[in-house]
Amino acid sequence: MPKVLYEKDGRIARITLNRPEVMNAIDDDLPTELEAAVTRADADPGVHVIVLSGKGDAFCAGYDLAYYAEKNGADNNVTQEMPWDPIKDYRFMWGNTQKFMSLFRCLKPVLCKVHGFAVAGGSDIALCSDIVIMGEEARIGYMPTRVWGCPTTAMWVYRLGPEKAKRMMFTGDKITGVEAAEMGLVLKAVPESDLDDAVEELAARMAGVPTNQLAMHKMVVNQAMEMTINSTQRLATVFDGITRHSPEGLNFKARSEEAGWKQAVRDRDEGTWDWTANEPLPKPNR
């Protein structure tokens, strides 16, 4: 069963993340299949626009923590035995980052439809697209900034500017589609019942433009970011590996193995765990 589906619908290529049983969580295969689908659409002269979406209840819930945190992946060892090899880690995460960035670098405009969740690594994928439309109640955020992660695509600062990007990175909060649109992170948010129609309307409007015009406009706008984006992403990818091998990152991994990744995520997101001591935080006196 393919983990990314591809369909050509007239001038529109439809790319769909296809692991609905785990909310399209990222495993070793999904980034490779995503890049292959983007490359296929980009090479087709009949495709003018790419629409990216997720099957099931969410766009993408991030990296599959049952696979990477509770266990340890396959051969990639996202948490290695110490002393760890930072280049082995970097090769794996840099490879995934560049596969996500195929959405940014392809010559066809990519319109991303977000329902449910686009969180952690799923937000990396969404934000590499050219335009994002969200359901009003959908959630986007990068919760692993609290522990065990640094967004390797670094798209938050390029979309939000420094202060609003820091607000998201310093808290790891998830925000609604409404908040994301107000903040300028995504183009707009619409009621969930209108999401499909809003995406289709914009995709059809863009599909009437010649592919060479679309490519030129995308390259001009992206050029404003490309002077710094490579070095920023390299630093973010190095830091992502460090977060997973810091004392706190190793404690998050141990907590995931001991209590299950869902409990470890609750401890992280609710701010109830001291990751340095690897024990619950004392309850505040009131």
8-56 tens-digit pLDDT: 999 999 999 999 999 999 999 999 999 999 999 999 999 999 999 999 9
Domain assignment present for 20: yes
- For 141, the 3-state DSSP assignment is strand
Structural domain span for residue 137: 4-279
Domain assignment present for 173: yes
In 3D space, the residue among 37, 93, 104 whose CA is nearest the CA of residue 63 turns out to be 93
Domain assignment present for 18: yes
- Taking the C-alpha atoms of residue 6 and residue 47, their distance in angstroms, rounded to an integer, is 12
CATH code for the domain of 98:
3.90.226.10
69-120 tens-digit pLDDT: 876 555 556 888 888 899 999 999 999 999 999 999 999 999 999 999 999 9
pLDDT of residue 78: 81
Percent of the chain with pLDDT over 90: 90
**Strand ranges, E, within the chain:** 4-9, 12-17, 49-54, 110-114, 117-119, 131-135, 139-141, 174-176, 188-190, 273-274, 279-280
What pTM did the predictor assign? 0.95
Q: Which residue type, as a one-letter code, is found at position 166?
A: K
Number of domains comprising the chain: 1
125-144 tens-digit pLDDT: 999 999 999 999 999 999 99
Domain assignment present for 95: yes
Domain assignment present for 286: no
Q: What value, to the nearest 5°, has the Cα angle with vertex 251 and ends 250 and 254?
A: 90
Taking phi over 0 as left and psi of -120 to 50 as alpha, with beta for the rest, 112 belongs to beta
Q: What tokens does 216 get?
A: 């030129």
